[in-house]
Amino acid sequence: MTYPDYEADLDYLEQFRDDGDEAVRLLEPLLAFRLSRAYRASRRLREQLRIESAGRTRDAQVYLYEGYKEKRAGFNMAANPDRIIGTRGGKTFRGSWHMAQGDAPDGVGYVYAVDLTHHGRLDWGDVHDRLRASGLHETVPNEPWHHQATTIRGPLPGPFPDGTTTEDELTPEMEERFDGLATWVFNGTTMILKRIEELAMQLEGTPPKGDNE
């Protein structure tokens, strides 16, 4: 779903392209909204953070994948454009989060991930703090540059164009993290309860002090 300032935000983001050929205009609305917001909120990001890769059309993904499969010189590992990432709300996401999903009015569609790069002093920890404040999250382990506002489970915590924010609410994504934590706590608690039971049984088996006297 787009929002009134979507085109204006895309125009604004164009200036932060690293080399100039990044397909900023393919960014899905929530990602464009949150990234524009992050830039507007931080002079340091404006000065030093650049958009390295917004995304690519399906045709471009096919080209990259064919080159990779045929081990052509200069081609890196690329996702199969037909690989199914997952399904949400009746919509199937394929290929790569960087591949346009055929879901926009133009028929090309939106991309759901952006790769960022920074120059000079800024470190990723500081960048991540600033981006997270606008709802942009790292979603791929060991790829500190890769950011999304949405995953297969829905929007990640953060602000929305209508002025609402999920900052204080549990999203499915967060619940998943908490589930992991709950399991860990449960296992820890079970272990402690077992130990208490053992101790209680030991105590029962031991005549209370004074009885033998």
Sign of CA dihedral 127, 130, 134, 140: positive
Query: What residues from 109 to 128 belong to the interface with Zn ion (CB under 5 A)?
Result: 113, 115
List Cα–Cα distances, 28 to 64, 100, 125, 146, 165, in angstroms: 21, 9, 25, 15, 18
Could you tell me how many residues of this chain bind Zn ion (CB under 5 A)? 3
10 versus 113: smaller Cβ distance to Zn ion: 113
Helix (H, G, I), strand (E, B) or coil at 56: strand
- Looking at the Cβ atoms of 49 and 113, the one nearer to Zn ion is 113
CB of 145 to Zn ion, least distance (A): 7
Q: Which part of the chain contacts Zn ion (CB under 5 A), choosing from 20-28, 59-67, 145-153, 170-178? A: 145-153
Q: Which residue is nearest to Zn ion (CB)?
A: 146
Q: Does residue number 138 form part of the binding site for Zn ion (CB under 5 A)? A: no
Where residue 109 falls (left for φ over 0; alpha for ψ -120 to 50; beta otherwise) is left
**Is the separation of the CB atoms in 36 and 58 below 8 Å?**
no
Of the ranges 54-62, 124-132, 146-154, 183-191, which one interacts with Zn ion (CB under 5 A)? 146-154
Task: Give how far the C-alpha of residue 140 lies from the chain's centroid of Cα atoms, to the nearest Å.
Answer: 7
Closest to 12 in 3D by CA, of 2, 56, 34, 1: 34
Applying CB under 5 A, the span of 77-85, 144-152, 163-171, 193-201 interacting with Zn ion comes to: 144-152
Residue closer to Zn ion, measured from CB, 22 or 115: 115
**Residue 146 interacting with Zn ion (CB under 5 A):** yes
Give the binding site for Zn ion (CB under 5 A).
113, 115, 146
